[in-house]
Amino acid sequence: MDHLLAEAPGRSLAYHAGRHASLQWRAFVAALARTLYDNAEDGDADAFLREVGTNMARALPLPQVATLEELEAAMNAKWADLDWGWVRLREGTGDVGIVHGATPTGFAEDTGGTWGRASVPLLEGLYTEWFAAQQGPSHLAVSLVGERAEPLHLRYGR
Amino acid sequence: MDHLLAEAPGRSLAYHAGRHASLQWRAFVAALARTLYDNAEDGDADAFLREVGTNMARALPLPQVATLEELEAAMNAKWADLDWGWVRLREGTGDVGIVHGATPTGFAEDTGGTWGRASVPLLEGLYTEWFAAQQGPSHLAVSLVGERAEPLHLRYGR
Amino acid sequence: MDHLLAEAPGRSLAYHAGRHASLQWRAFVAALARTLYDNAEDGDADAFLREVGTNMARALPLPQVATLEELEAAMNAKWADLDWGWVRLREGTGDVGIVHGATPTGFAEDTGGTWGRASVPLLEGLYTEWFAAQQGPSHLAVSLVGERAEPLHLRYGR
Amino acid sequence: MDHLLAEAPGRSLAYHAGRHASLQWRAFVAALARTLYDNAEDGDADAFLREVGTNMARALPLPQVATLEELEAAMNAKWADLDWGWVRLREGTGDVGIVHGATPTGFAEDTGGTWGRASVPLLEGLYTEWFAAQQGPSHLAVSLVGERAEPLHLRYGR
């Protein structure tokens, strides 16, 4: 049984991750992402999704906070309400590192992973707006660091 | 108490309808619909949503059936899996009447009702593809009858 | 189509009601109620469920409020968090009328309706504790008025 | 950021586990377990929960299968329907090892972990009945191996 017990955390994580996105919306979200990238240039689809993220952030306003710790807590409170995972923030040199895990992606209906891809510009737009609403207009934006992975590694900076 | 008891069915229906759409996706779906209609001509947004519906239908294929009753049952089985409400079909003169109730719309996050509006071309595309997959290519399509209401009244015909 | 449209509100209400209780717990809750009433005298099972209700109320404490309207609002806020339906309160002559609708009962797994029956003493215990926590210890209690129905009609009084 | 990325799998597993049990039933299930163990001797409470498990298993009948692999698959299909986690079976010497992960326990409302404790006799009764329904009456039963842990390690044997 030792093997079964040792592999259990990975099995449980995969179990939860594959069921995390509400069944009610998986088919819609997967079809939406596929239709979007089939119809538009990749850059246009990404830009559209960033704007959806901006609008989501405006519909989910955060309180004004004083510290990065409070900002992380405010973001996690919103994510907990929606069940969209968790975030950690870390001050860098001239930027802020963002690690976002347990996004509702990775379900079987998303054949090809198009929604997984779409979630990146969506979250870029959303976090950019959340930071902008704290700090006022700037030239800073949130963008992916490296390749898309679970968790996502993003940064807010130039 | 008679008044409280008499109003109870309407109150329960409103209670359920407002909570039917999974909380996880309400903010996303509302932001998506708003961004879509803000960025595209109405006709283009509708056409895009019809194509999302077509792709949803292809990801939710129905078995080949022999009668309209069986088709209604097959559609309701898919809707029950997804929790997207219920449908009734009725043979008309040269067309098929479609009544679809309890769509996951009408939640508070959808200020302005843009997702409610978006759900019409989505379901038009979806039902058109479901009928086409049964009957082969044709010039028939599903379209809304009259104004958008709950339940939706659609027809499959010329 | 007129018939289909006329029957739609009843159909939607039945659709929602049958799916309201989370699928994750329906089999457990139905088996629990059946086992409980199979093993204990009815009065003992009811008394046990009233105590479960008391413990639920203590785990869901309401703020101290000044009016019956505020109490109704505080109760509805808890019910909304849990998705256990809605309540209306109405001052009577020496008692308070309670109408509770959209309880998570009435699902297909509850063959025989034993959970539906069990929900009455559960809610009696729960509301009794919620009133007692507002008003201090008393000899008043919440009990069903008439037969069990949807919505439930309860009263808080002697 | 390396630290944040390294801790992410554990963070995601904790995130999912804490939210796995439907919010609708957490308060009820926690109050039920607490009331049960407060009112009955531990042995009686365990016996009652085993019988609830037996009744759950009868309401969730498995098809007759020929191999342990097929039995594991049939059990996992039921657990997937209910979202009660996953199971692995392993033939032992005169017994069958059972590893069950991602049970809907471990939520914040279950202060004291009484529901977590209650889930053990519940699953013992449930698996015992599932095995008995395959193999006919016997003196074999499912029982916990060692201490309660996540995942649970059970065995079916003498």
pLDDT digits (tens, 9 = 90+) for C32-73: 999 999 999 999 999 999 999 999 999 999 999 999 999 999
Integer angstrom CA distances of residue C39 from C32, C57, C123, D48, D120: 11, 25, 21, 9, 20
**pLDDT in the model for residue B90:** 96
Alpha-carbon gap, residue A110 to D113, rounded angstroms: 36
**A38: which 2 tokens?**
């089939």
Per residue in D43-52, is it b (16+ CB within 10 Å) or e — as a string? eebbebbbbb
**pLDDT in the model for residue A54:** 98
* pLDDT band of D2, cuts 50, 70, 90: confident
The pLDDT > 90 percentage for chain D reads 89
A11·D97 Cβ contact <8 A: no
B13·C16 Cβ contact <8 A: yes
Task: Note down the domain range covering B111.
Answer: 2-157
Q: What are the chain C neighbours of D83 within 8 Å (beta carbons)?
A: 23-24
**pLDDT in the model for residue B2:** 80
> How would you class C34 by CB atoms within 10 Å of its CB: exposed for 0-12, middle for 13-18, buried for 19 or more?
buried
Measured between CA atoms, how close is A93 to chain B, in angstroms?
32
> What's the average model confidence in pLDDT over A97-119?
96
> How would you class A143 by CB atoms within 10 Å of its CB: exposed for 0-12, middle for 13-18, buried for 19 or more?
middle
The string of pLDDT tens digits covering residues B103-125 is 999 999 999 999 999 999 999 99
> What's the average model confidence in pLDDT over C89-117?
95
B5·C99 Cβ contact <8 A: yes
| Selected residue with higher pLDDT from C136 and D97 | D97
According to the 3-state scheme, what is the secondary structure of chain B?
A: CHHHHHCHHHHHHHHHHHHHCCHHHHHHHHHHHHHHHHHCCHHHHHHHHHHHHHHHHHHCCCCCCCCHHHHHHHHHHHHHHHCCCEEEEEECCCCEEEEEECCCCCCCCCHHHHHHHHHHHHHHHHHHHHHHHHHCCCCCEEEECCCCCCCEEEEEEC
| Cα-Cα-Cα-Cα dihedral sign, residues B156, C4, C10, C11 | negative
> What's the average model confidence in pLDDT over A47-55?
98
Q: Residues of C near B (CB-CB distance < 8 A)?
A: 1, 4-5, 8-9, 11-13, 15-17, 19-20, 83, 85-86, 88, 90, 97, 99, 101-102, 145, 150-151, 153
> What's the average model confidence in pLDDT over B32-55?
97
Instruction: Reply yes or no on whether the pLDDT at B71 is more than 80.
Output: yes
Residue C24 CB neighbours (<10 A): 18
Q: What is the mean pLDDT of chain B?
A: 95
Instruction: Reply yes or no on whether the pLDDT at B3 is more than 90.
Output: no
Q: What is the pTM of this model?
A: 0.93
Q: Are strands A86-91 and A96-101 parallel, antiparallel or unpaired?
A: antiparallel
Instruction: Reply yes or no on whether the pLDDT at B19 is more than 80.
Output: yes
**Residue length, chain A?**
158
B9·C11 Cβ contact <8 A: no
Domain of A59, CATH number, reads 3.30.70.2590
> What's the average model confidence in pLDDT over D35-55?
97
Instruction: Reply yes or no on whether the pLDDT at D136 is more than 80.
Output: no
The string of pLDDT tens digits covering residues C139-150 is 899 999 999 999
**pLDDT in the model for residue D3:** 83
The string of pLDDT tens digits covering residues A12-42 is 999 999 999 999 999 999 999 999 999 999 9
* pLDDT band of B136, cuts 50, 70, 90: confident
Instruction: Reply yes or no on whether the pLDDT at C5 is more than 80.
Output: yes
**pLDDT in the model for residue A132:** 96
Q: Name the one residue in this structure whose structure tokens are 């998986």.
A: A26
The pLDDT > 90 percentage for chain B reads 89
Backbone angles phi, psi at A87, to 5 degrees: -135, 145
Alpha-carbon gap, residue D155 to D96, rounded angstroms: 6
Tell me the DSSP string of A88-109: EEEE-SSSEEEEEE--S---TT
* pLDDT band of B6, cuts 50, 70, 90: confident
The string of pLDDT tens digits covering residues C71-81 is 999 999 999 99
For chain C, the domain total comes to 1
> What's the average model confidence in pLDDT over D98-116?
95
**pLDDT in the model for residue C141:** 97
Cis check for the bond before A151: say yes or no (omega within 30 of 0): yes
CA B145 to chain centre: 13
